[in-house]
Amino acid sequence: MLFLRPCAQVFHEQVSAAKKRGTATPVTKLRIRALTPRLWPKLEDLFGDNGACNGCWCMYWRIGSAYRKKPRERNKAAFREVVKRGPPPGLLAFDGDLAVGWCQLTPRDALPWLDRAWRLRPVDDVPVWSISCFYVRKGYRRRGVTSALIAAAIRSAKSAGAPALEAYPLDGDLTPSASGTGYASTFSRAGFRTVGRRTPPRPIMRHDLRATAQTTPPEVIRCRLDFSNALQIRYHELMKPKPTDARVHSRDSAELRDESEHAQISENIAAVLEFYTREDQKITRSQRILERISLFAGQPVFLAFILLSVAAWMLANVVLHQLGIREFDPAPFSLLQGVVGLGALLTATVVLTKQNRAARLAEQRAHLDLKVMLLTEQKTAKLIDLIEELRRDMPNVRNRHDPDAAVLQQSMNPDQVLAALDELSEPEERLKLAGEGKAAVARK
């Protein structure tokens, strides 16, 4: 029988498969332990100064993209509080005393941002547990650490009484992107099946822990799990029924699409505001004062103030002359002209200072627009390619060659576009120069 094969045979098969895939030899002796406050230094050593991925410290599924706005140390402190508060939020894989892998394992309700992502919203009302992310130390990747953590997570969730275990991997056959949530093929080998797919590359996969049949492959890795009773108590607290609205579960796809659009719009607006806030923080105190002066100088009130001041200056000198008193600036008002000239020079300097900063911002936006347009063009070419491939694979659609689609499938080369623009502009310049030469000859 499959489950009675000796471990040596299973290990030999895994080594052979690893060699065929071009991967390293699997790790044979891993210990899997729940993350407790005592093991925090091990996690700290595994994640390093970067906090595993861009300073995340496993806070993304708790607070969303807001983790990017916080210093890495604050994210680290927040996750440490999660570990101290308990229950253990995940599993650590050890090779000897060295932590080599991490898997976040919690009830789904403990990760509120999963519900905010429309692609990963619940497919039903089952109170599942979730495997939300992985991190494997360099040198141990593609050596079976992720598979070991998945197997341990299945056992842990089942021992805690969870009805099912969910995961949100990437489908490696549909996208070349790297994944911190694992790959669908790895979960498929562990007995997970797809229960939802709102976007092709990101399936929602589930392992039914209530099934009596054994669906996981034979294990060659000995796992030692030390989940405390507090984990089960916390789980049952999270499993308490919550008031639900039947209308929420009966929302159609149009409403979901509207909500997703609102979420995307909000994220875009937040990104733009973050950009302007970051640029505003770069302004020095002296430059901020100059920009406030230029803001006042650009208002109609400032023009009225200048006109009234000049009129009062001239009127005062005329009145003093009529009274036989010596004027402080007799006609033609040389002092007034100097003051106005100095004011104009200062105003021009202030305005140019603000315009220079505005020009830098405009240049940054122009670069961003160019990058977005190039990325959009590449995505469009990829979509056309996928549609053409789908059309070729559909048996009820006649296959035909579309030369326009074949051309549009190719991504634009920016260098070729610039060269074409140069070629088009050069004849116009030559014609312009030729016209100027003819005009000069005619004048002679």
The model's pTM is 0.46
Cα separation, 41 vs 59, in Å, equals: 18
- Which amino acid would we find at residue 108? R
DSSP letter at 311 equals H
Cα separation, 333 vs 313, in Å, equals: 9
Better-scored residue on pLDDT, 126 or 441: 126
pLDDT in tens, 44-80: 999 998 888 888 899 999 998 888 888 999 999 999 9
Supply angle C-alpha 217, 218, 224, rounded to 5. Answer: 110
Q: Is the pLDDT of residue 372 over 50?
A: yes
Confidence of residue 291 (pLDDT cuts 50, 70, 90): confident
Q: Which of 7-21, 43-57, 315-329, 362-376 has the lowest mean pLDDT?
A: 7-21
Query: Once rounded to an integer, what is the mean pLDDT over residues 288-313?
Result: 80
- Which amino acid would we find at residue 238? L
Confidence of residue 244 (pLDDT cuts 50, 70, 90): very low
Query: Once rounded to an integer, what is the mean pLDDT over residues 28-41?
Result: 92
Most confident of 92-96, 207-211, 305-309: 92-96
Cβ(237)–Cβ(160) under 8 Å?
no
For residue 100, give the 3-state DSSP assignment. Answer: strand
Q: What is the domain partition of the chain in residue ranges? A: 8-241, 283-377
What was the pLDDT predicted at 328?
82
Percentage with pLDDT > 70 across the chain: 67
pLDDT in tens, 223-232: 333 343 344 4
Cα separation, 139 vs 263, in Å, equals: 38
Query: Once rounded to an integer, what is the mean pLDDT over residues 170-199?
Result: 89
What was the pLDDT predicted at 294?
75
Q: Where are the beta strands (DSSP E) in 129-173?
A: 129-136, 164-167
Better-scored residue on pLDDT, 327 or 138: 138
Superfamily (CATH) of domain 8-241: Gcn5-related N-acetyltransferase (GNAT) (3.40.630.30)
